Structure 1
Amino acid sequence: MNDIAGSFGKVNYAVVGVYLAVLVAMGLYFARREKTTDDFFLAGRRIPWWAAGLSIFGTQLSAITYLAMPARAYATDWTLLILNIGIFAIAPFVIYLYLPFFRRLNITTAYEYLEKRFHVSVRVFGSISFVAFQLGRMGIVVLLPALALSAVTGLNVFVCIALMGILSTVYTVLGGIEAVIWTDVVQAFVLIGGAFVALGIIIGDLDGGLGQFVSVAAENGKFNLAHLNWDWTSDALIVVIIGAVFTNSLVPYTTDQAVIQRYLTTPNERQAAKAIWLNAFLAIFAGALFLLVGTGLFVFYEANPQRLVSLEKTDQIFALFIARQMPDGLAGLVIAGVFAAAMSTIDSSMHSISTVVTTDFVRRFMPQLTESKYLLFARCLTIALGISGTVTAMLLARIEIKYLWDFFLGIMGLLGGTLAGLFMLGIFTQRVGTAHAWIGTVASLSILLYVKLATELNSLLYGAIGAITCFGVAFLASIITPTRTEHRAGLNIYNIPKAIN
């Protein structure tokens, strides 16, 4: 690893330092505008649709996508592209069936809807599930760029994790959601630009150029999009399609506060819808681009095996290429972009957790506090979350995980599937009450626990299993044991709330 570090150079370090300093300066600038929790959590609902869309894209992108998707394509093929296409199937449902509830009920967190539709206990469960998922996500998002930093500098990975955790925590405490969104916009352009540059360098280095790129990749099955079999433990086409619709689309876009919060920052519902569509197009475009980079890395190192060194994890392959093959300065900018993407996702996680805990617990159960105390609590909680995420990343670094991307999707499915089922019950049914919702929740969690511990089913299926079990069991329970349910206006598709903007 030392020869990798030796190729990074002072110029690249300087670029990394300057770039990160600019991001911190942006945080300082927007911090001056955060006077209330509405500013801190929703940016006063003044974010334009294109910035909100880029922010959703940037939050979902993260260092996980930027490093792990090329690594997956390098090691296997393009089957993951179908995962990104799933958002096109879900986007219309989100816009026409979910967005009206999130926008028109004057809520700050998605889980406030669960209390309005069911009971405060369901809201608390939703909030806790979200927080648990985000804490795990933060650990992974810190770990991946730390592995990249370790690969290009030779520093111990635990030192890198500590540096990343401290810097991202400081940055998050400085600014609210407005700072998070605008830094996401900058980082999205840097990351996509870096991927294009990497692809250009790869093709330019090959003796046969683009023709060699395509022929070698095709000969090795790198462009394969589907595995046509019925093996539910593999990346079979049916498994990936189900994962695309549920785990990779329905769960994050209908239950994840970090995403839903972006819907609430725009001036009106129409702009929020535009933001969702922009993100959908970018997700497919970027997914194809990052898989193309991974395929290019395979072709490049097939043609130049002497340039490939031993790596601790496959996820380091793109970082190796950046450090050793990109020109000075440009390599530093791309690596800085990786760190920035990680910071963007980390601060989104911290900020959304802070929003949920402050709104769903502190404000809900201690309504007598002043606005300034709620804001102070949110900032202090962010510091604690930064420490927690850093420690989680250090623990994950000790675990042998073949593909961090798959591990991340598994966590999302386990914790988000049941939650997706609850939102489906609330929006698409009238007869299901609180008791039925809890029966569905317990059944879903039990089935998911069994699937995780006793089977080898692909983790992409977890989201579908959780959502369908929760919805199906609860609805069946409402038929077998009907109860009188109070039907308040504006809480399901049969009486969608009137527009307020």
Structure 2
Amino acid sequence: MLAAVYFTSVDWAVLVAYFVGIMALGLFFWRRNNSADQFTAGGRTLSGWLCGMSIFATYLSSISYLALPGKAFVDNWNIFMFSLALPLAAYIAVRWFVPLYRQSGEISAYSWLEARFGLWARACASVFYLLYQIARIGVVMYLMALPMAVLFGWDIRTVIIVTGVIVTAYSFVGGIVAVIWADAIQAIVLLAGAALAVWILLARMPGGPEEVIRVAGEGGKFSLGSSSLWILSEPTLWVVLAFGLFDNLRNFGVDQSYIQRYIAARSDHQAAKSVWLGALLYVPVSALFLFIGSSLYAFYQSHPAELEEVRQIVAEQKLMQEGVSSEADSYLQQVDEVAAGLSDKELGDRVFPHFIASQLPEGARGLLIAAVFAAAMSTVSTSLNSSATLVMSDLYVRLVRPDASDSQQVLVLRCATIAWGVMGTAMAIALVSLTDSALDVWWLFSSVLGAAIVGLFLLGLVVPTLQNRQAVGIFVVALAVIAWMTFSIGAYWPKPLAGLTSPFHPLLVVVVGPVVMVMLGLLVARAGSPTRR
């Protein structure tokens, strides 16, 4: 690589020490995972602050650590509206969802759907969630591999495979207690790494913080975007706010990985505390990462040669993925040609890794890379544990072997952990050639796969008189609406139907889908009520 910066022995020492410590934590809890309940719920004895820090670390994945700075670098602070929706979503979760799951006594979030609408609802929600987690693992691992590819000049696909094996092995041996404890430790590493990055960024600017604010402000990097109430085809601040409310309801209200933390807490009060701690911590910290992105914009405006180096690195990575040999006579010319054609959007997810590689002193590089791995490991391990839990409870025990012994359940949990680790790793490799902005891809998956699950829960809670068959019809209609909103704005929508494309931005899928389901449910319930008849 033309601009690769290799680790020093100090950097390696920091990174290796981190990995040894985390793996030791997983092995420490290995002997305690002798039952399915221990693997999935940790004995239901954990404190609220510990579960809350785990929720916070799950939010603060490498999606936040790398994609948020990249988004602010390319665009602005528009996505901060997502974070501002968190407190309201947390209140709704504490008021209705946490008591619902705590009283059920079930480890699966979707057992309530079976009691409310039937087995079909539980099965559909579980399958959607399992697909959603494959997408989440893929995006997180892709972002985790980016800084390593920049630092060492390695093929990003090789990095993804190696890190996928490490994270899957950790999740395999640890269980939920190790995941939660590691999350709490990793949250501290994440915050330390972010604070260090901000301090160095401001120190490297000739005019200090004042210059950062001036340059980024002139570039519109602190803007929240359009405030129009009537534009629904663009990510205005109101569109992102609505997306944030419903997507965070999906997180706090129907996401298995969060619900396992409620169940693992030792009391209802501790479970509620975990929600508030995770939500209220993320709001200012997400602003910190957006500020890093704005500061990176100002930094590279003041150091154009550094930005050109980012272009060269991205160009080399693209040629490497295409199989172009660096020994070819025209290689440097090809690099220059590809670099010249790159857009700022294609550089977004790479600018922070490049800053880490080129600007941080030895030791600090190791800490920041450890922080990126911490962000990814907390999310991937959480996703693997929750996915394995659903495979065991909603598919194996519920549909295949209801009388499964505890040892059989533990075996299924461990096998499912490996299976979802493999599928998530494959998804990450696919993203290498499919995306320029990991955050955009992640939000699309989140909206499409989360909309129907959120809608089913809201339908069951808001329309208590709705019957099973009626719910099936409404669910089918909602899936049609979701499919229309998703595919009608894509490249494969038939040209004769161009006039029937969705007028909504893709982020509104997770808003429109549940709203349609609730409205149809209320209409059906009203039409079937005795007074109406």
Q: State the TM-score bracket (shorter-chain normalisation).
A: over 0.9
Q: 2:27 & 2:529 partners in 1: Cα distance?
A: 55
The aligned counterpart of 1:57 is: 56
The one-letter code matched in structure 1 to 2:66 is L
Q: State the alpha-carbon separation in 2 of the partners of residues 430 and 233 from structure 1.
A: 33
Contact kept? 1:82, 1:241, Cα under 8 Å:
yes
**Corresponding residue number in structure 1 for 2:355:** 321
Closer, same or farther: CA 98–418 of 1 in aligned 2, 3 Å? same
2:334 is matched with: none
Aligned partner of residue 207 in structure 1, secondary structure: coil
C-alpha deviation, 1:132, in angstroms: 0.9
Distance in 1 of aligned mates of 2:383 and 2:462: 28
Counterpart of 2:467? 433
Q: 1:321 to 1:292 in 2, by over 3 A?
A: same
Please state how far the C-alpha of 1:201 moved relative to its aligned partner. Answer: 0.6
Alignment of 1:34 with 2:33, yes or no, is yes
**Given that residues 59 and 345 in structure 1 are in contact (C-alpha distance below 8 angstroms), is that contact kept between their aligned partners in structure 2?**
yes
Within 5 Å, give how 1:220-259 maps onto structure 2. 220-229=219-228, 230-247=230-247, 249-259=248-258
Matches of 2:58 and 2:209 in 1, distance apart?
Answer: 32
State whether residues 5 and 358 of structure 2, in contact with CA within 8 Å, keep that contact through their aligned partners in structure 1. no
Alignment map for 1:350-389 (pairs within 5 Å): 350-365=384-399, 366-389=401-424
Q: Tell me how far apart the structure 1 counterparts of residues 14 and 205 of structure 2 sit (CA, whole Å).
A: 28
Q: What SS does the corresponding residue of 2:460 show, helix, strand or coil?
A: helix
CA contact (8 A) 2:168 2:381 kept: yes
Output one character per residue of 1:381-415: Cα deviation in whole Å (capped at 9) or x when no partner: 1111111111111112121x232112111111111
State whether residues 455 and 515 of structure 2, in contact with CA within 8 Å, keep that contact through their aligned partners in structure 1: yes
- In the alignment, what sits opposite 1:397? 432
Distance across 1 between alignment mates of 2:244 and 2:58: 18
1:13 to partner: Cα distance = 2.6
Mapped contact 2:252–2:275 kept (Cα < 8 A): no
> Shift of the alpha carbon at 1:378?
0.6
Give yes or no for contact 1:436–1:475 (8 Å, CA) kept in 2.
no
The aligned counterpart of 1:98 is 97
CA deviations 1:110-136 (Å, max 9, x no partner) are 101101112111111111111011111
Taking the aligned partners of 1:406 and 1:104, their CA distance within structure 2 comes to 37
Contact preservation (8 Å) 2:448, 2:509: yes
RMSD between aligned alpha carbons?
Answer: 1.5
Residue 460 of structure 1 corresponds to 507
| Inter-partner Cα distance in structure 2 for 1:443 and 1:472 | 12
Q: Distance in 2 between matches of 1:476 and 1:28?
A: 54
Separation of aligned partners in 2, 1:387 and 1:430 = 40
SS of aligned partner of 1:6? coil
Deviations 1:135-187 (A, max 9, x none): 11111111111122111111001101101111111111011000001111111
Instruction: State the match for 1:493 in structure 2.
Output: none
Cα shift at 1:7: 4.1
Q: Which amino acid is 1:469 matched to?
A: V
Deviation (angstroms), 1:188: 0.8
In 1: Cα distance, 2:113 partner to 2:136 partner: 23
Q: What is the TM-score with the length of structure 2 in the denominator?
A: 0.88
How does 1:396-415 map onto structure 2 within 5 Å? Answer: 396-399=431-434, 401-415=435-449
Cα displacement (A) at 1:353 = 0.7
Query: Does structure 2 conserve the Cα–Cα contact (< 8 Å) formed by 1:48 and 1:267?
Result: yes
CA contact (8 A) 2:61 2:378 kept: yes
**Retained in 1: the 8 A contact 2:243–2:510?**
yes
Which amino acid in the other structure matches residue 355 of structure 1? T
Determine if contact 1:62/1:341 at 8 Å carries over to the other structure.
yes
Aligned residue for 1:8, secondary structure, equals coil
1:478 to 525, 528, 532: 525
User: Which sits farther off after the overlay, 293-302 or 216-225?
Assistant: 216-225
Task: Confirm whether residue 274 of structure 1 aligns to residue 273 of structure 2.
Answer: yes
Distance 2:121 2:373 in 1: 36
The alpha carbon displacement at 1:3 in A equals 4.0
The correspondence for 2:483, drawn from 420, 434, 449, is: 449
1:15: which partner in 2?
A: 14
> Which shows bigger deviation, 471-480 or 376-385?
471-480
Structure 1 residue 334 displacement after superposition: 1.1
408, 416, 439: which one aligns with 2:450 = 416
Tell me which residue corresponds to 1:175: 174
Aligned to 1:340: 374
Structure 1 counterpart of 2:196, one-letter code = V
- TM-score normalised by structure 1 residue count: 0.93
Q: Which residue of 2 aligns with 1:490?
A: none
343-352 or 474-483, which moves further after superposition? 474-483
The CA distance in 2 between the partners of 1:110 and 1:26, in whole Å, is 27
Q: Does structure 2 retain, via aligned residues, the 8 Å contact 1:64–1:141?
A: yes
Contact 1:140 / 1:408 at 8 angstroms: preserved in 2? yes
Uncovered stretches (5+) of structure 2, i.e. residues with no partner? 315-345, 490-501
Instruction: Give me the whole-angstrom Cα distance separating, in 2, the residues matched to 1:43 and 1:261.
Output: 9
- 1:112 and 2:111 equivalent? yes
Task: Tell me if structure 1 keeps the 8 A contact 2:164–2:425.
Answer: yes
Unaligned runs of 5+ in 1: 484-501
Query: 2:494 maps to what in 1?
Result: none
Matched, 1:69 2:116: no
C-alpha distance in structure 2 between counterparts of 1:480 and 1:10, whole Å: 72
